[in-house]
Structure 1
């Protein structure tokens, strides 16, 4: 494996280069100042972008880390020149060198279209420019908080704590935001690639005990609060549904949950009795009852699922559970690893107006939540839901 790395003098570069150096046949570093790079990595070959064509023809990978970050000063034009134009220029040089794969490294903040920082806007512009290249494989990698071998900055104090104290504190801190280890990034770069050109690298939260405990605690607190404080509202809604149209007040339906197993999901009935068992997008508007339209718009129809929360079948936040008959959605979610987590009453896809009418797109957004899962994100989704986001799948 022969690899080129740009921007190796930054934090990620200085930590990932030693890992790559030990596992590849040849490694070349590219920068505006090869002498500066040479002082950091005296045992590696360094050159400018203009010199790359003469030393890296036919290499396997180019990892592009050169960037102007938000913590750096610059105008919008300067950010665009470095983060968009230089990225595109570097990819063109790599293409001319017949390098097989170009890795465009960005922060996950770029994925948030509402993030209008100079960094995010310029990195999104780079992705658009790279779409014009056809003779080189482009893989856009999005990274959350990157963890090196040791904690640095404000978290450096963790290195001096006893292990039995540091580990729980680390787990709690990592529960707040997604993170990825340097080794994980290096392993991805070194391994054979699939046909995915969009990748979020993250450790996730499935192995974080602190996150699981806190999330479960919040789920139970929500369920108990709904039952204890809103029992009277539940009775009123049940009565309105039960006597507003023919059929039961509570609708029980088989759904696909964690690990692909089925469970019985409970909701206030919003459809006419006898409506076909299918995805909501396949059901006509006429099937929705008058009270059902209001309940779906306010998500009050989901409140009976507090029983599913108590049974640990569902969470407050997670991918919405699909029906067993939705085979395409099941296959897409299985391929993206979405079934590794519990489904939820509301989710990232829903508050971004992604419903079950496009199974693969929904599964990709569910996978995005799996990668970016954190307590901060869960709170943001809850607030977005309260403000009216995720108002249920759209009917046909």
Structure 2
């Protein structure tokens, strides 16, 4: 009942309320981005959705327009050179993700779920297919995001995504939502250009 009906109703209401309440913040960020960096305010990119149906994700543009397209940040040789001054702050505070409220309102995404991957992230997508994580809508945040985010290796992220599918419930979504607020305030797991950083630190 929750997975097939109530979750979508809650996602719709939360995204609608979020857009209305945060509209002044969205407007201010849009103006700052436009004034401080040449290029569009929004960044649109193809991502993998439910059942591997692709959709266009919305983000506030945090990188220069000459950044290589469709390349995960951790695969760039020096990601910092492409991130704008405002973009660095937005990525650290996750403010660049706010336009995804429109993706949720539209129905492409959920508030809680696996983070939408790029089509060329073959290793992650294959693991998600195996553990059932690709059978649900991707989320604005999820279990992996409150468990380490950029510090986690690909197989660990995929395992957490699969674990979320098994545990999905209203109370578990509430836990992930509250955990996200804490993680954002503490900037936990944000490593520009890094993936698997937690494992690297353990080996050091």
Structure with greater Cα Rg? 1
Change in CA separation of 1:351 and 1:285 when aligned onto 2, cut-off 3 Å = same
Q: Name whichever structure is richer in helix by fraction.
A: 2
**How far does residue 324 in structure 1 lie from its aligned partner after superposition?**
0.9
Extract unaligned runs of 5+ from structure 2: 194-204
1:269-280 to 2 correspondence within 5 Å?
269-276=61-68, 277-280=70-73
Query: Matched residue of 2:97: which SS?
Result: helix
Q: Which residue of 166, 169, 172 corresponds with 1:374?
A: 169
Name the CA distance, whole Å, in 1 between partners of 2:28 and 2:46.
25
Extract unaligned runs of 5+ from structure 1: 1-208
Q: Which runs of 4 or more aligned residues in structure 1 lie more than 3 Å from their structure 2 counterparts after TM superposition?
A: 354-357, 389-393
Query: Corresponding residue for 1:395?
Result: 192
Contact 1:319 1:348 survives alignment (8 Å): yes
Change in CA separation of 1:261 and 1:392 when aligned onto 2, cut-off 3 Å = farther
Query: Corresponding residue for 1:329?
Result: 124
1:359 aligns with 2:151: no
Query: Corresponding residue for 2:2?
Result: 210
**How far does residue 354 in structure 1 lie from its aligned partner after superposition?**
3.6
Contact 1:355 1:362 survives alignment (8 Å): no
1:267 aligns with 2:42: no
Query: Corresponding residue for 2:196?
Result: none
CA RMSD of aligned residues (A): 1.9
Name the CA distance, whole Å, in 2 between partners of 1:210 and 1:380.
15
Query: Corresponding residue for 2:110?
Result: 315
**How far does residue 214 in structure 1 lie from its aligned partner after superposition?**
2.3
Query: Matched residue of 2:7: which SS?
Result: helix
**How far does residue 391 in structure 1 lie from its aligned partner after superposition?**
5.9
Query: Matched residue of 2:107: which SS?
Result: coil
Name the CA distance, whole Å, in 1 between partners of 2:32 and 2:146.
27
Query: Corresponding residue for 2:199?
Result: none
Query: Corresponding residue for 2:197?
Result: none
**How far does residue 392 in structure 1 lie from its aligned partner after superposition?**
7.2
Query: Corresponding residue for 1:219?
Result: 11
Residues matched between the structures, number: 188
Query: Corresponding residue for 1:281?
Result: 74
Contact 1:268 1:304 survives alignment (8 Å): yes
Q: Name whichever structure is richer in strand by fraction.
A: 1
